[in-house]
Amino acid sequence: MLLTDATHDPALKSWVESANAPGCDFPIQNLPYARLRGAGSDEPWRIGVAIGEQVLDLSMASRQCPWGEAVAPLLQPLAEGDLAAFAAQGPTAWRLVREGLSLALEAGSDQAPFLELCLREPGELEYSLPFVVRNYTDFYAGIHHARAVGALFRPDNPLLPNYTWVPIGYHGRASSVVAEGGTVRRPMGQTKAADAAEPVFGPCRRLDYELELGLWMGAANDLGMPVDMAAAESRLFGITLLNDWSARDMQAWEYQPLGPFLAKSFATSVSPWVVTFDALAPLRRPFQRPAGEPQPLPYLDSARNRDSGALELTVEAWLHTERMKKHGQPAVRLSRANVLQAAYWTPAQLVTHHTSNGCNLQIGDLLGTGTLSGPGDGESGSLLELSRGGKAPIELPGGERRTFLEDGDTLTLKAYGEVPGGVRIGLGSVAGTVLPAD
């Protein structure tokens, strides 16, 4: 059963005209949050809500617009730029504010004259991470990615036997999670060629992206207290786009026996926009394992997860090379995949498994899904897969070729969900430009 309400009505229109345009990422049915302020200013940080091609400044809106008694106090943490404090108020508060914002932004709203003065242009703003990230865990939930990468290194045994039973993950580096719009410096590290006697230290030569979703925790659990499947979704505040930049040559040399280390810890980019799980309700789908696959163990199973645990989202990766920019050419899409096909585990299962040993998650903790690749050509969420480990260069417009990212390349991830009879719910984008090694 889809958990929809009046805020999801496809017929709902906003007095912000750009929010009603077909294909808009941020219609009134979405209302994602970001932490922002005027670009280059010393304004206090505040939370904004994307509506069409504009942003509603909730610091201004809380002061200049009348709100109902139930909503007004709930807006204060948002006005003060503290999304974690807002999340701590719980799911009931999240839904009350969503309903209040929807009514205020709906066409014909009495609040429109007040809120018109609180709209800001996105290009005049700067953004920070929506939460203070104290912990970051990256999972490996994309089964087609796992099979494709496994086949490169273990052709006879691409998928290890634990994969279909355990949501595999590793603890990443929280301090190098950065917000959209920055640059990524090519990392230095150890690599070893297959025919070399010794490793060398120098710039990474196989820089890659990973097309992922990020899950933001909106509630904490105490140390030693697991979160079961019945409660898991109520702990999730929202999702974002995530690019876990990867140094594949460094990774190949260092990852055994303890897994990813410096090949992953130099940068992880996330979109500033947090799309709430409430906004995703129309995109929920039944969770079904392919025929012949083992079913989850009981602690990772629930009726609700089977009925509506999966997400119908399209994810894309786009490349804009330095040459394309110089010649005024647009970016080219490298891949497109459907999360419904790509993800072997649901968000609720990732939370439940993460806490199953008593691990304590905190508000603002970030969980990456792992690379989301589809089964077909052009559906791979990394260059490692698209170029078959560097053996099959990708042909680009203008005669360029790529196996891995080069200096000056800009890599952009996008995601959206759109179902028949519904409106598009977008996650915006997250981009990063590669700088030379320092």
Positive or negative, the CA dihedral 380, 383, 386, 388 is negative
CA distances from 376 to 97, 144, 274, 381 (A): 41, 9, 29, 11
Alpha carbon dihedral 274, 311, 141, 205, in 10-degree steps, equals: -60
Burial letters 246-271, b for 16+ CB under 10 A, else e: bbbbbbbbbeeeeebebbbbbbbbbb
Q: Are 241 and 430 in contact (CB under 8 A)?
A: yes
Alpha carbons 57 and 80: distance in angstroms, whole number: 11
Catalytically active residues are: 145
What is the number of other CB atoms lying within 10 angstroms of the CB of residue 23? 10
Cβ neighbourhood burial of 2 (10 Å; 0-12, 13-18, 19+) = exposed
List beta partners, residue 212: 242
Query: Closest Cα to residue 277, out of 321, 331, 240, 227?
Result: 240
Positive or negative, the CA dihedral 25, 28, 32, 35 is positive
- Phi/psi for 77 (5° steps) reads -60, -35
Alpha carbons 93 and 78: distance in angstroms, whole number: 12
Alpha carbons 315 and 303: distance in angstroms, whole number: 27
Q: Are 390 and 157 in contact (CB under 8 A)?
A: no
